[in-house]
Structure 1
Amino acid sequence: MNRRVVVTGLGAISPLGLTVPQLWEGLLAGRSGTGLITKFDASGFPSRVAAEIKNYHPANYFEPKEARRIDVSHQYALVAAKEAFGDAGLTSQDYDPIRAGTIIGCTNGGITTLLSQYELYRQEGSRHLSPFLLQMMFCDMMPSLVSIKYNLQNASYTTVSACSSGANAIGDSYRLIQRGDADIMITGGTESSIVPFAIAGFCKIKAMSTRNDQPGKASRPFDKNRDGFVLGEGSAIMILEELEHAKCRGAKIYAEIVGYGMSSDAYHWTAPDPEGSGASLLMQATLNDAGLEPTDIDYINSHGTSTLLGDIAETKAVKRTFGEHAFKLTINASKSAIGHLLGAAGAIEALICTLSIRDNKIHPTINYETPDPECDLDYSPNRVTERKINFALTDSLGFGGHNVALILKKYRP
C-alpha cells in the first residue's frame, strides 16, 4: 500500500521569530538571526556567537506551574505544535486518536534542565532537586507531551540521529501514513542547546565559527572564508495527513511528500566523507524512493553548515548525484540565517522547503561574499530566486555520518 501523504499544517519558533510567517519573512528579507550569546557569559569561549530565540516569554504560552515542569526544548515543541494545529484548522474532532501519532526529533533533550539540576545537586545534594527532573531531561518527553495534549494514540517516539533527527522524524511519519499504519502525524524537531557545556564541546572540536567581531555574518555556508557553524535553537512542527483524510475535512494542502532516504558515511565521528559518497548515496536512494530522475529536482535546501569540510563534501555529493543537472539546480542554506538547530535542523529546513514550493521562492544564502572554487554551484547568494518548483530535496547530514533526505512535491490533485 502506497498512500499519498500531504502537508497540511506548519508551526515554528526560530531565531527569526516566534511564528512561521515571521520566519519566512525574515528569510526572504535576508535577515540574520545570529548574534553574540546573551544566555550566559561566553567571554571565555573561542566562539561567542549563536542564533538565539528573541523575545520568548514562557508566560505567554504556559501557566507558571506548567512552565516549571517542562524544559525549554519541550516548550518550543509545544509552541510550534499549537501553531501547526491552528494553521491546519485541526481539532480533536477531525481525527481518530488511534490513527494519529507524533514523532519528534531531538539531539540533546532537556540539556538546560540537566545542567542546572546537576549544579544544584553538586552544591546541595539531592534534597532540592525537581521531582520532574527525569521527565524534563528525557528526549522522549517531547512527543509524549504533544501526544497527551492532543490525544494522539498511534506511534509516539523521538528520533535521535544528531543533525538528521528532525528529518528522520518526518520521514518515519511519512512512512507510517504511506503504508497505512496512521492517517495523521504531528512531526518535526526541537532543540535548545545554547548552554556553556554544549558550546564548550563544539569549540573543542573546532566546529564553530569564531567570527565574534561580525556575529551577524558568522554563518556563511559555501563562502570561501567560512570558519564553522553557528549553533541555533528552536522547533519546527509539520502536520502530515493521508491525502483523502485531508480532503475529507477540507484542509488546505501545502505540498506532498514523495521521497525519504537514508544512508551512513561509515567514515568518522564528526568529519564527513571528503568525497561526499555517503551523501550521494543518500540522494540517489531518496530519488529512487520517489521514483524520480535527477533532472526532476528543481531546488535543494542544503545541509550547508558553513564548515570547511562539510560544504565541500556536500557540493561533491550533489555533483556526483546530479551530474550536469547540478549546475541547473538552485541551492540554498537556511543555516546562513538561523544557524544550526541540531535536532530541529532537518525539520525546519523541510518546513522551509514547503514554503518555497508554495510560493515558488527560494530564500537567499546570506553572508556569501567570496566564491570558493570547490563550491561552484548556484547557492542563491544574497538574493531571492524565483522559479517554479515542482520537486524539492532537503538533505540532513548528521554527526556520525547519519544522512537523511526528503523530497517534497508541488501538490496536484
Structure 2
Amino acid sequence: MTAVVTGIGVVAPGGIGREPFWDLLVGGRTATRAITLFDAKDFRSRIAAECDFDPADHGLSPREIRRMDRAAQFAVVSAREAVEDSGRRIADVPPHRIGVSIGSAVGCTMALEREYVVLSDKGREWHIDHEYAVPHLYGHMVPSTLAVEVAWQAGAEGPVALISDGCTSGIDAIAHGARMITEGRADVVLAGATDAPLSPITSACFDAIRATSPRNDDAEHASRPFDADRDGFVLGEGAAVLVLEHKDAAQARGARIYGEVLGFAARSNAFHMTGLKPDGREMAEAIDAALAEARRDPRAVDYVNAHGSGTKQNDRHETAAFKRSLGHHAYRVPVSSIKSMVGHSLGAIGAIEVAACALALDRQVVPPTANLRTRDPECDLDYVPSTARDHRVDTVLSVASGFGGFQSAMVLGRGDG
C-alpha cells in the first residue's frame, strides 16, 4: 500500500488537539472521571472519559453548533486540524479527487436522545407531536451525516463513506480511506472516526451487561487493561481524523510523513454478539493477513497498540492472539493500551489509536498502559506499565475488537521507510 499519513487532528479526553493528546499519553495521565454530561447517580457505572470541549472555542459558528450533534462537531474540528497540520492546500485539489471515510459506532446518539426526551415529554407520551422536533432531526437519525459534515468542510466531491462496524469502525474507516488512495479513486482522503456516546441510553445498555467498570470511587484508576484487578472498561468519547495521500505525491511536495499504511485485514468470529473465544484465533488471522499484505515478518513489529479494553475476556483473548501470530517475539515487543488513559470511545477509539501509532512512529516513543499494577498470570507480555518508553519504532501493529465478532488489524511503518 502507498497511502501515507501527512496530517493528524484529534479531539480526545484530556487533550483537545494533537499535541495535548500526545502529551497526555506520554505523561501517562488519565482523563477518566465522574460523569458530568448528565445526571448519572442512578447508574451502576458513573464514570467516563469526557472531552472538555467548547465548540465555539474551536471555531464552530452558532448555526453549525445548532445543526451538528456533538460527534459531528468532534469530527469537523479534528478534520480542520488534520488539514492544517498536513500543509496541503485543499483548495488546490480538484474537489472530485478529495475523499472522506469516517467511522462511528453509534452515530448522533446525544442529539437523538435529547430529541426523544423532548418529543416524548420524558417518555410519558407514546404518541409524539413532530412539531416539537428540531429541523435537523432527520440528519441526526442518519449516521452518514457525520461523513457529510466533514465532506462539506473539505469541499470533498469524491467518494464519501460512513463506516459503522461497532468498535472497529475507526481502524476500518482509515483502512477504507487508504484503499481510496491506493486504488486511485482519490488524491487526498480525510479518514478517521468519531463518537460521542456519553448519554443515559448508552450507560444503561452497558450497565445491563455489566461491561463497564463500577469503580466510581476511584475514577482516575478505573480503566485497568491487563491488570489482574480490572473490572470492565470505561466509556469515553472523541474523534481523530487523518489526512491520507499518495506517498509519491507527499514526498514530491516535501510533506512531513508520520507513517505509511502498509497492511490491513479484518475477520469475524461468527460466534457470539459479545463473546470471544479464548484462543484468539480470529484476531490472530487478521494480524497474519495484515502482516502478509505489509510484507513484514512478525519479528519486524516494534510496538503493538492493543485493543486493551480492560475486560478479562478481551485482554486474555488478544494476548493469546499476539502469541499465536508473533510467536516468541510477542514476549519481546512492547504492547500497550491507551484506553487506560482516554477510555473506550467505541467506534472512534480505533482512529484515535491509529493517530497515537502514527505519533509513536514519528516521535519514537511507546505510550504506556496506565494503572497497570497487579500482574495477571494469563496476561504475561510486556504491557509498558505506567511510564512511556523511548524505543525504536519502525513498524507498528494496531488491533481492534468489536461486538459482533469483528477483529481488525493494521500495520503501519515509518514514512521514510
Q: Equivalent residues in 2 for 1:153-192 (5 A)?
A: 153-192=157-196
Q: Equivalent residues in 2 for 1:114-129 (5 A)?
A: 114-123=112-121, 125-129=129-133
Q: Which residue of 2 aligns with 1:92?
A: 90
DSSP 3-state at the match of 2:16? coil
Q: Which residue of 2 aligns with 1:258?
A: 262
Q: Equivalent residues in 2 for 1:292-303 (5 A)?
A: 292-303=296-307
Amino acid at match of 1:41: D
Q: Which residue of 1 aligns with 2:66?
A: 68
TM-score of the superposition, structure 1-length normalised? 0.97
Is 1:354 aligned with 2:354?
no
Q: Which residue of 1 aligns with 2:18?
A: 20
Compared with structure 1, are the counterparts of its residues 55 and 177 closer, same or farther at alpha carbon in structure 2 (3 Å cutoff)?
closer
Q: Which residue of 2 aligns with 1:391?
A: 395
CA contact under 8 A between 1:71 and 1:137: conserved in structure 2?
no
**How many percent of aligned residue pairs carry the same amino acid?**
37
DSSP 3-state at the match of 2:166? coil
DSSP 3-state at the match of 1:13? strand
Q: Equivalent residues in 2 for 1:334-413 (5 A)?
A: 334-412=338-416
- Tell me the CA shift for residue 332 of structure 1: 0.5
DSSP 3-state at the match of 2:198? coil
Q: Give the whole-Å Cα distance in 1 for the aligned partners of 2:288 and 2:233.
A: 26
DSSP 3-state at the match of 1:408? strand
Is 1:140 aligned with 2:144?
yes
DSSP 3-state at the match of 1:231? coil
Q: Equivalent residues in 2 for 1:309-320 (5 A)?
A: 309-320=313-324
**Which range moves more in the overlay, 180-189 or 93-102?**
93-102
Amino acid at match of 1:273: K
Q: Give the whole-Å Cα distance in 1 for the aligned partners of 2:157 and 2:55.
A: 30
Q: Give the whole-Å Cα distance in 2 for the aligned partners of 1:55 and 1:74.
A: 13
Deviations 1:69-127 (A, max 9, x none): 11110000000001001101122333222221000000111111111111111126211
Deviations 1:259-315 (A, max 9, x none): 111111111101222211111111111111111111111100000000011100110
Amino acid at match of 2:15: G
Q: Give the whole-Å Cα distance in 1 for the aligned partners of 2:251 and 2:409.
A: 27
CA contact under 8 A between 1:298 and 1:329: conserved in structure 2?
yes
**Which range moves more in the overlay, 63-72 or 350-359?**
63-72
Give structure 2 stretches of 5+ with no counterpart: 122-127
Q: Give the whole-Å Cα distance in 2 for the aligned partners of 1:212 and 1:173.
A: 38
Q: Give the whole-Å Cα distance in 2 for the aligned partners of 1:331 and 1:66.
A: 40
Compared with structure 1, are the counterparts of its residues 59 and 411 closer, same or farther at alpha carbon in structure 2 (3 Å cutoff)?
closer
TM-score of the superposition, structure 2-length normalised? 0.96
* Equivalent of 2:291 in 278, 282, 287: 287
Q: Which residue of 1 aligns with 2:209?
A: 205
Q: Which residue of 1 aligns with 2:105?
A: 107
**Where has structure 1 moved over 4 Å in runs of 4 or more?**
none
DSSP 3-state at the match of 1:10? strand
Q: Give the whole-Å Cα distance in 1 for the aligned partners of 2:319 and 2:326.
A: 11
* Equivalent of 1:268 in 272, 277, 283: 272
CA contact under 8 A between 1:59 and 1:67: conserved in structure 2?
no
CA contact under 8 A between 1:270 and 1:399: conserved in structure 2?
yes
